[in-house]
Amino acid sequence: MDVRTAEVRRLFDRYLVELVEPYDLCPWARPARLGGEVSVEVLWGTPSVDAFTEAARALLARPTTKVAMVIAPEIDADPLDLREIRSQVTSRLSGIGVAEFHPDSPLDATTPARLVPYLRRSPDPLLQLVPLSLLASVRAPPTTADRVLQIQMLGGQAAPLRGDVADIIAADNHARVTAAADAVAAKIADIAEDRRRSYARVGITIRTGL
C-alpha cells in the first residue's frame, strides 16, 4: 500500500474506531471491521460515475465483503454533487443500498433523520455500499416497500417506519449524539485537522472539508 493510500485508510479507520463505533452509529460497523468484512477502494482525482460503479462492483464481488467503501479524497464535489453521484451509482447496481458520506455535510439535529448527514461526516467523500440482504438482517421482515425505504434511508431522504429496528437505531443515535454534541463535534474537528496536516505532508490535494 502506497503512503497516500495508507493515510486515507488511517483517517477512515479513525472515523470508524473513534466515532462510529463508540457511539454505536451502525449496528454492523464493529463486527464487520473486526471480521475483515469491510472492503475499501481509494479513487484519486475526480472519479467518474463509471469509476465509482466499477470499483463498487469489484469490492462487492469479493466473497468476504459485507460493507464496501469507495473513497475519493481528492474529488471536487460538494454534498449535493456527491448525492447525485450516489443516485447514479444506485441506478446501476441491483440489490445494493448506497449512501454518501461527506466531510462538509451540515448539522441539523431537529430530527433523527435530519441528523443522519452529520453522522456521515467522514474524513473524505465516499460511497458506502451494502447489500440489501444485510440491511434486512437487522430490520423487521422485509417487504417491497421496506426495500424502497431502505434505499431512501441510506440516502438520508426518509425516516424509518415507526417501531422498525432502524427507527430505534436512528432514535438512539440522535439521543446519544445530541447528549454528547460537544465531544462529537470535537472529535470530528480533530480528525479533520489530522487530515489537513497529513494530506499536506504526503501530497494529497484537498478540495473538500471544512
Contacts of 198 (CB under 8 A, 6+ apart): 7, 10, 11
Place of cell 431502505: 150
| Average confidence score pLDDT of the chain | 86
* Lowest mean per-residue pLDDT among 44-53, 137-146, 180-189: 137-146
- The confidence score (pLDDT) of residue 145 equals 47
Interior/surface letters 2-39, b for 16+ CB within 10 angstroms, e for the rest: eebbebbeebbebbbeebbeebebbebbeebbeeebbb
Task: Give the pLDDT of residue 142.
Answer: 44
Q: What is the pLDDT of residue 25?
A: 82
Eight-state DSSP code of residue 105: P
153/8: higher pLDDT? 8
Q: Which of 143, 142, 173, 176 is nearest to 156 (CA)?
A: 173
All three cell numbers of 30, joined, read 464493529
The amino acid that residue 176 corresponds to is R
User: For residue 84, which amino acid is it?
Assistant: E
| 192 vs 154, higher pLDDT | 192
d(CA 49, CA 115): 27
Among 25-29, 84-88, 129-133, 179-183, which stretch is predicted with the lowest mean pLDDT?
25-29
pLDDT per residue over 100-131, tens digit each? Answer: 999 999 888 888 888 888 889 999 999 999 98
Domain boundaries, the chain: 3-202
